[in-house]
Amino acid sequence: MDLTLKTRLEARLGDYLRGPVYQRRDETEIRIEPDSVPDVLRILRDARDLRFEILADLAGVDTGDVMQVVYHLWSPMTTDWLRIIADGIPRDDPRAPSATFLWTGAEWLEREAYDMFGIVFEGNRDLRRIFMPPDYTSFPLRKDFLLPDDAARSTGAGVRQVELGVRPTGANGDAADDIRRAPAS
């Protein structure tokens, strides 16, 4: 754990942070407002004492209340990975600034988050579905996405078929408890 990284982040990003800087093992985590993403990412990449040069991953998250975008960055200046959570994106109109102005590879990662969560990345020049068909209208990783068998979750509908237990039977139809192994010969 790089304890000096926490100090450097607090000094550079103090006004942008939504809470304390968390550290555990080789990970450091900060939370920011979605609107501050461009400023924070630019500072993290360009500051000589930070130099987070590589965007290793970007993912959408649906907490059930709000949406989040999570960025994982790497720097040669520290042994820690940096996780930035853009928190508080409204679920009814999820929008976040694109990171493609710093890392062109973010385009594909943002397309995946759009396709699975419906998060619109403003500034992404090619925001379209990447896994689902173009005419697909839902977002499969959102908490409100229903699977085909979820209609049974309504009251009075009983147990879903995937939850029905099946008790194995022996060759003659007896319950599995009655199945005995043949003696070894």
Domains of the chain: which residue ranges? 3-166
- pLDDT at residue number 178: 47
Q: Compute CA distances 185 → 170, 180, 181, whole Å.
A: 21, 15, 12
Residue 143's contacts (CB-CB under 8 Å, 6 or more residues apart) are 62, 63, 64
3 or 14, greater pLDDT: 14
pLDDT digits (tens, 9 = 90+) for 94-133: 999 999 999 999 999 999 999 999 999 999 999 999 998 8
Superfamily name and number for 3-166: NADH:ubiquinone oxidoreductase Nqo5 subunit (3.30.460.80)
- pLDDT at residue number 184: 60
- pLDDT at residue number 158: 47
For the chain, the average pLDDT equals 83
- Provide the pairing of β-strand 66-74 with 54-62: antiparallel
For the chain, the straight-line distance linking the first and the last C-alpha, in angstroms and rounded, comes to: 61
Neighbours of 91 (CB within 10 A): 17
- pLDDT at residue number 149: 59
What is the pLDDT averaged over residues 140-147?
A: 80
137 or 146, greater pLDDT: 137
Rounded (10°) angle between helices 37-46 and 3-13: 130
What is the pLDDT averaged over residues 142-149?
A: 74
- pLDDT at residue number 160: 46
- pLDDT at residue number 44: 94
- pLDDT at residue number 16: 93
Q: Point out the least confidently predicted range of 71-80, 126-135, 141-150.
A: 141-150
Report the percent of the chain where pLDDT is more than 70: 79
- pLDDT at residue number 163: 45
Neighbours of 117 (CB within 10 A): 24
- pLDDT at residue number 135: 86
Per-residue pLDDT band at 164 (split at 50, 70, 90):
very low
Residue 42, pLDDT > 70, answer: yes
